[in-house]
Structure 1
Amino acid sequence: MNNIIEKEWLLKNLNNPQVRVVDCSFSLADPKKGRQEYDQKHIPGAIYFDLEKDLSGEIGDHGGRHPLPDLEEFVHKLEQAGISENSTVIAYDQGEGACAARFWWLLQYLGHEKVFVLDGGYRGWEEGNYPVTSEVQTFNKAVFQPIMNHGLIASMEEVRTIVNGQVPSTILIDSREEKRYLGLEEPIDKKAGRIPGAMNKPWFEGLNAGYYLPVEVQKQRFRDINPENNIIVYCGSGVTAAPNFLALKAAGYKKVKLYLGSFSDWISYPENKIE
């Protein structure tokens, strides 16, 4: 898979000055846990990016629970981490895959193609008995020049036109677990259900213990979707949809967008229908 990197490759390239490693570990149940785990031990040279402080913006009336961060500020943080447009960036989390994929998507959105997700995450790295450290490395400030790829993001208005039947060739994919998709259970958002017309492809079915399933298996997961269709993936807040976005691209689907605000943004508009 083109956007996935194996831990063996990273081990060989840890001291490559063009390689930057980013730890995106985060727990929604305990927002401080990811930083604490990073402080205790991480992959040598890794810089920490927090899902809510770095990879998301301030929550407002609309935009969902993890809206797009202020991009000027985000680019500044990349530069402070020594990341330039020439850097090869490897993102990882504790092995769940979603936060690393969120960082990967954000850099893709900024036009940076040399960004990868570490297969197996930190858990796989430790299982390989590879080196870890508590040392926080600093880097010289770099220059990162974004080239925005607006074709990767879908707005609420765009999703609404699909729901209203105005764009028949576009598929909506709900990446949440089936109980939430069906509206039987909603532990986080204020309303239960799904965006009308969406099909369900739970994001975690594309991974096995933090490792992405092979391309052929991903193709089987999405075999009921025509590769010629436009696809928009969403979840609760635009985080767990990112692994599905990555898996779809790996399976050869070229016309994929992420509805970043996702269901939490959709329900912030009272007029939007829910199934």
Structure 2
Amino acid sequence: MRFIKDREWLLENLHDEHVSVIDCRFSLADHLQGKKDYLQGHIPGAVHFDLEQDLSGNIREHGGRHPLPNIDDLIRKIENAGINNDKIVIAYDQGEGPFAARFWWLMRYIGHDKVFVLDGGFKNWHEANLPVTVEIPLFEKADFRLKLRPELLATFEEVKEAVETQNQVLIDSREERRYLGIEEPIDKKAGHIPGALNKPWMEGVRGGHYLPISEQLQRFSELDPNQSIIVYCGSGVTAVPNFLALKEAGFEKVKLYVGSFSDWISYDENKIELSS
């Protein structure tokens, strides 16, 4: 199954009542920027979902910098956006990919199948001079039925077992310098989870567009499609493009460690590797 739609598809289906559009623009440098950008202009009919307000929970001692949101709160926001289990949902961010992918993964985690990411994001849409509006849409509240898919989520305990027994493949999605521990601009410790492979997420996209399946298969050529794979990053956001790319390439047993490296290092006893 393909999880990506191009701008032509969205333009053709923009006014279809069975299609919902979600704006996930966000800036890690300025947490208010995404909402500002949305208010200044967005794809018609789009509802804004904020990474920290809507797609993440409260930070605690463990769980990482972007833990799972409260599921009841997430469903309430989804229902207020007029989304039920039958709607086709397409999410976009500025074009980088991770924020829309985070929404895509969460929707699949709570049991929604018809969810996609807009390839190229808002940047690609805007550069093509396609419709943009400042109008804030209102929707009749929908009814969404929760069907959690725990098989998409890797718990801390599973990751710890994977480190100890090597029963699953761990993929670190951060850039190589952070993986190697050469630099760490965000977290209080540097390095990676022991035994993890490094597959930087940005190598799976080019100019804001996901690479074709043939090239994704090349990126993951040393992996066995039958293996269980856990992807992580710093806080469970930039790992999701790798999760999506793996699923696009036909890997079925893929899980996201939402807490990621920021959760792993919150346990003082956990070991860290500094080189491959």
1:257 matched residue in structure 2: 255
Pairwise CA distance, 1:129: 1.1
**In the alignment, residue 268 of structure 1 is paired with which amino acid?**
S
Shift of 1:61: 0.3
Aligned partner letter, 1:160? K
**d(CA) in 2 for partners of 1:176, 1:3:** 22
Which of 211, 216, 229 pairs up with 1:218?
216
C-alpha distance after superposition, 1:66-93 (max 9, x if no partner): 0000001100000001010011000000
**% identity of equivalent residues:** 62
5 Å-filtered alignment, 1:68-147, equals 68-147=68-147
Contact residue 189 and residue 265 of structure 2 kept, 8 A: yes
Deviation at 1:169, TM superposition (A): 3.6
Residue 173 of structure 1 corresponds to 171
Give the distance between the partners of 1:72 and 1:79, measured in 2 at CA.
10
Structure 2: 5+ residue runs without aligned partners? Answer: none
Moved over 2 A (4+): none
Alpha-carbon distance between aligned partners in 2 of 1:272 and 1:169, rounded to the nearest angstrom: 18
Matched with 2:32 is 32
CA distance in 2, matches of 1:58, 1:116: 26
Residue 196 (structure 2) aligns with: 198
**Residue equivalent to 2:60:** 60
Question: Tell me, what secondary structure is at the counterpart of 1:36?
Answer: helix
TM-score normalised over the length of structure 1: 0.98
* TM-score when normalising by structure 2: 0.98
1:200 aligned partner, one-letter code? N
Q: CA deviation at 1:125?
A: 0.4
Deviation of 1:170 after TM superposition, in Å, equals: 1.1
SS of corresponding position for 2:125: helix
- Give the CA deviation at 1:127: 1.5
- Shift of residue 228 of structure 1? 1.1
Residue 209 (structure 1) shift:
1.3
Q: Name structure 1 gaps, 5 residues minimum.
A: none
* Number of residue pairs the alignment of both structures matches: 273
Alignment partners' CA distance in 2, 1:170 and 1:261: 17
* TM-aligned CA deviation for residue 128 of structure 1: 1.4
